Amino acid sequence: MAKMGNKPCWWLIHSSRSRMSTTILLITCLLTWAKCQENQSMTQEEKLVIRDQIIEMFDHAYGSYMKYAYPADELMPLSCKGRVRGQEPNRGDIDDSLGKFSLTLIDTLDTLVVLNKLDDFEDAVRKTVRDVRLDNDVVVSVFETNIRVLGGLLGAHVMADLLRQRGERMQWYQDELLHMAKELGHRLLPAFNTTSGLPYPKVNLRYGVLNPLSRTGTESDTCTACAGTMILEFAALSRLSGESVFEENARKALDVLWDRRQRGSDLVGTVINIHNEEWVRRDSGVGAGIDSYYEYLMKAYILLGDNVFLERFNIHYSAIMKYISQPPLLLNVHMHNPTVSVRSWMDSLLAFFPGLQVLRGDLKPAIETHEMLYQVTKQHKFLPEAFTTEFRVHWGQHLLRPEFAESTYYLYKATGDPYYLRVGQSIVEKLNAYARVPCGFAAVQDVRTGTHEDRMDSFFLAEMFKYLYLLFSEKTELPIDIDDYIFTTEAHLLPVSLSTTKPPCPGNDTETDPVSHEEDLFTHSCPSLETLFPNNPSFAKTIRDSYKYLTGVGRAFHPLPVREIELPLHDNGMEPVEFLKSMGISLTPLNEVMAGEGRRQKDRKGVYRVKLVAELSQTQEEEEVLPHVVQLISPPYLGRTVLTAGPAKFGLDLTKQEHGVKGSIVKASPYTACGPIDNAQELEGHIALALRGDCMFAAKARRLQEAGAIGVIFIDHREGSNSEETPLFQMVGDGDSTEDINLPLVFVFSREGAVLTAALEEHQNVDVLLLPKERQLGHDKTEKPVSMNIKLRLAEEGELDEGAARGPTLEFFLEKEQLLLKEEEEEELEHREQQHKACTKADKDGRTAPCTAGSSPTTKSNCGPDTNP
């Protein structure tokens, strides 16, 4: 996201065996101190080491792209080659970012300057001017091309011009990048040729939109962010080139979105029709589909100095905080009925929002949401692409997105709290540990399995390394004055001086009677640190501490006289005691322990023996995704080829169809089914194959249902995905009612989908059967496993000896090295004494300021590495 000009406006240890249907929680909790490493200060030497590590990581990623991929748009880090559109399997709308214009190189240009790689920057500019063409016959996303390519060219031009003015390098440069930016701007302008002024979502770089050769122009919908994230780049292009047409079109699109907001709630929807201006999806949030619309209202005010953008942002922001923000959560609601949440999960793109709140000066909710996100990363290593309000994985993919690092950077710059340096350090360590591969860094296909995906998106180089490097750098160590620039949503640098040094375009008309809204201290002014932290250096910490163990990860165990833990088990025919042994729990009869060395443990001060009593009881199965199958039944397959599929939460319920749904498969045209269906006659009475992407599952289903299809098989657009490595999930609707959809719908991953498409190409007529896996033809029914709970009761020795255990019981003793429970009062006393000694010593050594009341320990002593799971 952004940076502002001049000044910052800104226990259980879990053990599982994946091959077994059982998860068991082993109580091996060692009482640890409250982690102090996260809160301790960081020396300049430590920051330098981490900054050098970030540079090495960047060199590895950028060097791999230049060595293996350039001039291709992106690097395929697992294949060690470039991704060229048309030469690799189609991934749907993801590929609309690729325009055969060396995307990663352009997106990385100004990152090279920030990282002080000025020789590499000059060389990369020469390559861009010499090699890149912008008139390719390819259909691209208007939104992605604007923020990545146009923004990249403009940011690089600003940097090149600055270096040229200094007289040290780039003396050959004659505004070539600006000329390229202007050419690209004109190639994007045809997208705005609509009656509403809202742009088409796609454009052909050579033929525009309405040309018969353009292969686009049939789209009727666009997302709010897609239409509302043009103003920074287009306005900068107008101010730098002197052609006002770009800024005028971007402003008009913002005017339409503002005018179409829901007047009762002041919220906007997620998808809008570009012709009649009606909302297609009415769910409202701050994540995918809307995110950068709000971001660009605030930043347009900062960059252009136009109050109308600030007024609009403040009105929207009040609505967000009233309806969407439920600290620390940010939930999607219905724009017309904002008291109703439309889904129980959040997407990772909303991680930018704390940074935007810093820009506005609203730090308390920014700290709360950021801490929630940090706890999720602790639990899953990275932010999953989507996660539930209970912080479970909803969609496990992680694309190396930079939004969390972005917000971490803003919070550190606003607070100076070294805690955020430690958060940044954890990001660096996890990228190296879990995403690094020999040819770069690879996206994670599923955070639960750690499997990689053969992609390294350009934004990883454009954004992630900028924010991480700046986080660990002082202003004096940078080749530019970073406060003179604002970051676009792709982290490209635009000078805030544009508002005063270049003539503005005609201002927007705003309402004479603006919508009334509550104003606060920061509605029209930038906050100061004195206002945010009035004589309270632990302000941020006191807010974070309320959410520190939100997900349960890292929580210190405080023993109670009796503690019960339920452990789900499944009976597999073994006796329970033997089953526990097979899971690695060693059992020792209490009488043997009592007679042995364990007795001496009782004599140690502050330590008492525990006894666990396991009560076995029946319990219901946890709700899980019921696997479905696509079974090929026509010759030559005859039911022998069975593909695992995931169900949908809407449409026809296949579990209620005794014999499933049978039909011949036909590929939809367009394959994504996100526009008018061209082959409706072929689809009628058949099961449609449709590629995931471009629009919602529900929208595809409606179009295919109208075309006469009797079922739909959605195929994942992520190359190489498969049911063996990726957990199944249930498809969800689009936030509106889906009662009108009565088709059976299933989802298959890419590898399973390839079997279907290959069969269709070879045999033309392929019959399949859609049904739950347990009902597939030739499938022997097996008994459903019996589920049970083990309830563990933790108590002092002797407390449960006489009649306390009811029903079938198992008694076992955890040995000395496995569990030592210190009494809470003694632990707290020792903790405070050592903290006081550490702080006093640090003060005497002159390494840090004295500890204040309520502050956390800041020394490095006695602070081991983070061992939390």
Look up 291 and say whether it is catalytic: yes
Contact partners, residue 450, CB within 8 Å, separation at least 6: 381, 434, 444
240 pLDDT more than 90:
yes
Q: What is the mean pLDDT of the chain?
A: 80
> 730, 757, 775 — which closes off a domain?
775
Q: Please, which pLDDT band fits residue 430 given cuts at 50, 70 and 90?
A: very high
Annotated binding site for Ca(2+): 489
CATH number, domain of 749, equals 3.50.30.30
Domain-located, residue 64: yes
Domain-located, residue 516: no
Same domain, 665 and 534: no
Cβ(281)–Cβ(271) below 8 Å: yes
| Average pLDDT rounded to a whole number, residues 646-673 | 90
660: alpha, beta or left? (left if phi > 0; alpha if psi -120 to 50): left
Same domain, 766 and 673: yes
Instruction: Tell me the CA distances in angstroms from 861 to 284, 545, 822, 841, 864, one per residue in order.
Output: 48, 22, 22, 10, 8
Same domain, 535 and 670: no
Catalytic residue among 306, 385, 694, 716: 385
**Torsion angle of the four alpha carbons 840, 842, 843, 845, in this order, in degrees rounded to the nearest 10:** 120
Domain-located, residue 588: no
Domain-located, residue 799: no
Across the beta sheet with 221-223, the strand order is 221-223, 271-273, 279-281
Q: Please, which pLDDT band fits residue 531 given cuts at 50, 70 and 90?
A: low
Q: Which residue has the tokens 């006489």?
A: 802
Number of CB atoms found within 10 A of residue 354's CB: 29
Highest mean pLDDT pick, 90-99, 293-302, 696-705, 807-816 = 293-302
> 775, 805, 821 — which closes off a domain?
775
d(CA 766, CA 757): 10
Instruction: Tell me the CA distances in angstroms from 51 to 37, 45, 101, 414, 468, one per residue in order.
Output: 18, 10, 31, 20, 8
- Helix 291-304 × helix 307-319 angle, to 10°: 150
Cβ(405)–Cβ(424) below 8 Å: yes
CA–chain centroid gap for 112, Å, is 25
Q: Which residue has the tokens 């569990």?
A: 819
Question: What confidence score (pLDDT) does residue 548 get?
Answer: 72
Cβ(342)–Cβ(332) below 8 Å: yes
Look up 403 and say whether it is catalytic: yes
Question: What confidence score (pLDDT) does residue 776 get?
Answer: 76
19 pLDDT more than 90:
no
Q: Which residue has the tokens 């009035």?
A: 534
Q: Please, which pLDDT band fits residue 732 given cuts at 50, 70 and 90?
A: confident
Number of CB atoms found within 10 A of residue 642's CB: 19
Number of CB atoms found within 10 A of residue 712's CB: 28
Q: Give the chain's domain count.
A: 2
Domain-located, residue 622: no
Q: What is the CA radius of gyration of the chain?
A: 29
Same domain, 534 and 632: no
The larger pLDDT score, comparing residue 178 to residue 597, is at 178
Report which of 272, 291, 285 is spatially closest to residue 346, judged by C-alpha positions.
285
845 pLDDT more than 60:
no
The larger pLDDT score, comparing residue 146 to residue 8, is at 146
Catalytic residue among 88, 96, 122, 144: 144
Contact partners, residue 168, CB within 8 Å, separation at least 6: none
Q: Is 18 exposed, middle or buried (0-12, 13-18, 19+ CB in 10 A)?
A: exposed
Q: Tens of pLDDT along 352-372?
A: 999 999 999 999 999 999 999
527 pLDDT more than 60:
no
Tell me the three state secondary structure of residue 584: coil
Cβ(86)–Cβ(449) below 8 Å: no
- 599-604, long-range: CB < 8 A, 24+ apart: 601/816, 601/820, 602/797
| Average pLDDT rounded to a whole number, residues 402-425 | 96
Report which of 109, 56, 75, 88 is spatially closest to residue 443, judged by C-alpha positions.
75
Question: What confidence score (pLDDT) does residue 2 get?
Answer: 44
CA–chain centroid gap for 731, Å, is 18
Instruction: Tell me the CA distances in angstroms from 42 to 38, 374, 539, 794, one per residue in order.
Output: 10, 19, 19, 40
The larger pLDDT score, comparing residue 666 to residue 730, is at 666
Tell me the three state secondary structure of residue 302: helix
Q: Tens of pLDDT along 609-624?
A: 444 444 443 434 344 6
844 pLDDT more than 80:
no
Catalytic residue among 74, 291, 417, 490: 291
d(CA 246, CA 599): 81
Strand-strand pairing, 628-632 and 809-812: unpaired
Query: Omega of the bond prior to 636 within 30 degrees of 0, cis?
Result: yes
Cβ(388)–Cβ(453) below 8 Å: no
Same domain, 88 and 206: yes
> 775, 797, 814 — which closes off a domain?
775
d(CA 401, CA 462): 11
Report which of 284, 185, 179 is spatially closest to residue 231, judged by C-alpha positions.
185
Number of CB atoms found within 10 A of residue 569's CB: 24
Same domain, 541 and 634: no
Same domain, 271 and 387: yes
102 pLDDT more than 90:
yes
Q: Which segment of 51-55, 90-94, 664-668, 795-799 scores lowest on mean pLDDT?
A: 795-799
Cβ(290)–Cβ(477) below 8 Å: no
| Average pLDDT rounded to a whole number, residues 472-499 | 95
Q: Tens of pLDDT along 315-335?
A: 999 999 999 999 999 999 999
C-alpha angle with apex 285: 692 to 697, nearest 5 degrees?
20
Same domain, 663 and 537: no
Sign of CA dihedral 113, 119, 122, 128: negative
**Phi/psi at 649 (5° precision):** -85, 5
Domain-located, residue 701: yes
Annotated binding site: 489
Domain-located, residue 284: yes
Q: Tens of pLDDT along 770-784?
A: 999 887 776 554 444
- 539-544, long-range: CB < 8 A, 24+ apart: 539/415, 540/363, 540/367, 540/411, 540/415, 540/417, 540/419, 541/39, 541/417, 541/419, 541/854, 541/855, 541/856, 542/854, 543/364, 543/367, 543/368, 543/371, 544/367, 544/368, 544/371, 544/419
Looking at residue 648, what DSSP letter applies? B
529 pLDDT more than 60:
no
Domain extent at residue 647: 628-775
Q: Please, which pLDDT band fits residue 571 given cuts at 50, 70 and 90?
A: very low
* Buried/exposed 430-443: b ≥16 CB within 10 Å, e otherwise: bbeebbbeebbbbb
CATH number, domain of 460, equals 1.50.10.10
Q: Please, which pLDDT band fits residue 433 given cuts at 50, 70 and 90?
A: very high
Same domain, 535 and 645: no
| Average pLDDT rounded to a whole number, residues 205-227 | 94
d(CA 654, CA 650): 11
Q: Is 488 exposed, middle or buried (0-12, 13-18, 19+ CB in 10 A)?
A: buried
Cβ(665)–Cβ(755) below 8 Å: no
Cβ(224)–Cβ(290) below 8 Å: yes
Question: What confidence score (pLDDT) does residue 536 get?
Answer: 56
Looking at residue 546, what DSSP letter applies? G
C-alpha angle with apex 796: 795 to 801, nearest 5 degrees?
85
Same domain, 67 and 169: yes
Question: What confidence score (pLDDT) does residue 600 get?
Answer: 44
Q: Please, which pLDDT band fits residue 805 given cuts at 50, 70 and 90?
A: very low
Q: Report residue 613 as tokens.
A: 């009593």
The larger pLDDT score, comparing residue 840 to residue 344, is at 344
Q: Which segment of 207-211, 552-556, 656-660 scores lowest on mean pLDDT?
A: 552-556
Q: Which segment of 69-78, 155-164, 375-384, 606-615 scores lowest on mean pLDDT?
A: 606-615
Catalytic residue among 403, 406, 719, 734: 403
Report which of 674, 697, 671 is spatially closest to residue 683, judged by C-alpha positions.
671
Same domain, 636 and 536: no
Look up 144 and say whether it is catalytic: yes
Question: What confidence score (pLDDT) does residue 128 get?
Answer: 98
Report which of 153, 226, 141 is spatially closest to residue 184, judged by C-alpha positions.
153
CA–chain centroid gap for 217, Å, is 30
CA–chain centroid gap for 265, Å, is 27
Same domain, 536 and 672: no
d(CA 572, CA 352): 46
The larger pLDDT score, comparing residue 24 to residue 263, is at 263
Cβ(77)–Cβ(437) below 8 Å: yes
How many helices and strands (H and E) does the chain possess?
A: 27, 33
Q: Report residue 615 as tokens.
A: 């009560």
